[in-house]
A and B are shown apart, each in its own frame.
Chain A
Amino acid sequence: MTRRFPFIRLLEGPQTLGRGPLFWSIAGAVLVAAMVYPLMTDGYTVGNTVYFFTWAFMALGLCLVWGYGGSLSFGQTAFFGLSGYTYGILTLNFGAAYGFTLIALIASLVCTAVFAAVLGYFLYFGRISGVFLGIVTLSVTLVFERFMAQTAGPEWHIGVARLNGFNGMSGMPPLTLPWFGRAIALFPDIGLYYFVLILLVLSYLGLRILVNSKFGNVLVAIRENPERAEMLGYDVRKYQLVAFVIGAVLAGLSGGLYTAWGQYITPSSMSITAAALPIVWVAVGGRGDLTATLIGTLAVLAAFQALTIYGSQYALVVMGLLLVLTVLIAPEGLIVTFARFVGRMRRGPKEPA
């Protein structure tokens, strides 16, 4: 099979933790458990799990841009919001007939990609890097938030869709899949659950292939030493821009799915708090690895939600503490550090070089 589809070989490689039959057996078992899970629990829990899943795309995108590419972007929530609002505006105007919501979702992603390409062009071709990249992307996010927050008046509308200022937009139709005869509404939760799960698995596997490909190698090389990468003849800016756009589209996918799931989107999804949270998810699990990011994100999200029972401010303080502790104790991320530790134990003590 690997001969006919050479990219399958790239599912494992130097840029990803986890390889061999044991890893893929566990991954398969987790997937089966995830498939069976909605049949054994109530609708609320399934819906809640979909909510966790929707954020994971944004985290995986940040993992690519930051963990593999080395550019810390605070712009993920800007793309999230842009895509969410686009989905809302399109579906409120054109309704949900004949699977149009799916087209609206794709259109939102295209819109996000175009915006990210323009922003990324100025960032990377203007040679903005390091902390300045973070500052510019955060500024863009906050400009979006401020702008949307002041659109409360009736004059702010696109077609029939009122932007509604700080209260945000609501009432957009849920996702539907076009099907023979009539469209299948992915609502309530079980249909949407499988749809999002499939997208998540595809995104995860696709990114694994990407980071282990030649493109991924160069991206990691740029993270390690951009000057050296350029002096090997690589146009560093192009690689960074492509990674940035892919990361943005994944954040956009989160935004679109989130809006379709909750049927609302507000400017607070682009606030400074919201912009900081993806950094925490990705850093805690381990930004240098996709699997660690995925597990870490879902775990931190679940913990965060459990903590909000005691108050959302309190939960945010814990998130901040978690980030500080991670940076101090395991700067590569808790899961990555743990995986390396297990790997060393299994290989036994190192022979002297």
Chain B
Amino acid sequence: MMSILETRGLNKHFGGLHVTADVNLVLEEGELHCLIGPNGAGKSTLFRLILGEHVPSSGAIFYAGHDITALKSFQRIRRGMSVKFQVPGIFKSLSARQNLEISLQHHLERGSLEAEVDRLIDFLHLRDVREQLAGNLSHGQKQWLEIGMAISLKPKLLLLDEPTAGMSPTETFATGEIVQTLNADGVTILAVEHDMSFVRQVARRVTVLHLGRIFAQGTIEEIVADERVAAIYLGHANA
């Protein structure tokens, strides 16, 4: 298997603040990888570096073997990356259906576009609210809608930033199933998540970030058993 994403010696400083410190993260194709860590560990910054929203202070990012460090965000998306943001990034004053149409329109013609919109609407349990304004959907539905927009691009690598934030346990479980289905279809997934029940449900490999560095890496069982990881969550360890 080849790696789909690889960061090499990635660093990001904000003034004196060293938010991402020498991160070497390798994602194999087909993986379902969770990124966890206490608040301020640098998870979101790492995401933004991978997406091209931040420029790294040093280091490089490789996607499917190509150096993409200099590419703009939209160029990375066109190469097969996709993202679902933490705060649902949807088009509030457009209907759920229109949101998906806009996501799909640059690679589908009108006939197949409608069929694909319908398929996504069903997949994401949005049948009853397809004509409602996205801004009026429930929080969970907004999250699903944005997952739909992200996967409509048929990505090879999907980045999920806290996909279950603010969801009820039932919704969280349903989201876990959606994510697992996608992964089974061959999409590589990197998810930042706080909800450990979600991580246990879906993740095969887990990376723990702490103070901008990779603190631990392993299977979910190994990470849960790691006392040092428990300690940083409780605030006992400092390095």
Q: Which of B95, B128, B149 sits near A228, CB closer than 8 Å? A: B149
Complex contact A231–B77 (CB within 8 A): yes
CA A236 to CA B93, docked complex, whole Å? 18
Complexed CA–CA distance, A14 and B106 (Å): 18
On whether the beta carbons of B153 and A232 are closer than 8 Å, the reply is: yes
Name the CB-closest residue of B to A235.
B74
Are A232 and B129 closer than 8 Å at their CB atoms? Answer: no
Decide: A221 and B102 in contact? CB cutoff 8 A: yes
A81 → chain B, closest Cβ, in Å?
34
Segment at the B interface, from A35-43, A108-116, A212-220, A304-312: A212-220
User: What are the residues of chain B within 8 A of A221 when measuring CB–CB?
Assistant: 91, 94, 102
A53, chain B: closest CB distance, angstroms: 30
Contact in complex: A214, B105 (CB < 8 Å): yes
Q: Are B94 and A224 in contact (CB under 8 A)?
A: yes
In the complex the two chains form, is B73's CB within 8 Å of A217's CB? no
For the complex, is A225 an interface residue (Cβ under 8 Å from B)? yes
Closest to B91 in A: A224
User: For A224, what are the chain B residues with a Cβ–Cβ distance below 8 Å?
Assistant: 90-94
Q: Could you tell me the distance between the alpha carbons of A230 and B129 in the complex, rounded to whole angstroms?
A: 25
A233 touches B94 (CB 8 A): no
Tell whether B188 is near chain A: CB-to-CB under 8 Å: no
Contacts of B217 in A (CB 8 A): none
Closest CB-CB distance, A321 to chain B, in whole Å?
27
Given contacts A218-B105, A228-B90, A230-B74, 20 further A-B contacts (CB under 8 A): A14-B94, A217-B98, A217-B105, A220-B94, A221-B94, A224-B90, A224-B91, A224-B92, A224-B93, A227-B85, A228-B146, A228-B149, A231-B74, A231-B82, A232-B102, A232-B149, A232-B153, A233-B106, A234-B74, A235-B74
- Assess whether A353 is interfacial by the CB under 8 Å rule: yes
User: With A and B bound together, what is the CA distance between A218 and B85 in angstroms?
Assistant: 19
User: What residues of A have a CB within 8 angstroms of the CB of B150 in the complex?
Assistant: 231
In the complex, per-residue mask of A219-255: 1 if CB is within 8 Å of any chain B CB, else 0: 0110011011111111110000000000000000000
Residues on B with C-beta less than 8 A from A231 are: 51, 73-74, 77, 82-83, 85, 89, 150
Shortest Cβ distance from A19 into chain B, in angstroms? Answer: 15
The smallest beta-carbon distance between B225 and chain A, in angstroms, is 36
Say whether B45 faces chain A, with CB atoms less than 8 Å apart: no
- Contacts A/B (CB < 8 Å), 25 sampled: A14-B98, A214-B106, A217-B101, A217-B105, A218-B105, A220-B94, A224-B90, A224-B92, A224-B93, A225-B90, A225-B92, A227-B53, A228-B89, A228-B90, A231-B74, A231-B77, A231-B82, A231-B83, A231-B85, A232-B77, A233-B74, A233-B77, A233-B78, A235-B72, A353-B129
Residues of A within 8 A of B128 (CB): 353
What total of chain A residues lie within 8 Å of the partner, measured CB to CB?
A: 19
- CB contacts under 8 Å to B, within A187-230, are 214, 217-218, 220-221, 224-225, 227-230
- Contact between A218 and B82, CB atoms less than 8 A apart: no
Contact of B91 among A228, A230, A233, A236 (CB under 8 A): A228
- Do A234 and B106 touch across chains, with their CB atoms under 8 A apart? yes
B 76-134 contacts with A by CB, 8 A: 77-78, 82-83, 85, 89-95, 98, 101-103, 105-106, 128-129, 132
Q: Could you tell me the distance in whole angstroms from the C-beta of B206 to the nearest C-beta in chain A?
A: 25
Closest A-chain residue to B146, C-beta based?
Answer: A228
- Beyond A231-B73, A231-B89, is A218–B98 a contact (Cβ under 8 Å)? no
Residues of A within 8 A of B101 (CB): 217
Complex-state Cα separation, A233 to B106, whole angstroms: 9
CB distance from A351 to the nearest CB of B (A): 11
* Known contacts A224-B92, A227-B89, A231-B82; A217 and B102 CB within 8 A of each other: yes
Residues on A with beta carbons closer than 8 Å to the beta carbon of B90: 224-225, 228
Q: Which residues of A sit under 8 angstroms from B92, Cβ to Cβ?
A: 224-225
In the bound complex, CA of A217 to CA of B102 (Å): 6
A residues in contact with B132, CB < 8 Å = 353
* Chain B residue with the shortest CB-CB distance to A13: B98
Considering only CB atoms, which chain B residue lies closest to A214 in the complex? B105
**Chain A residues positioned under 8 Å from B129 (CB to CB):** 353
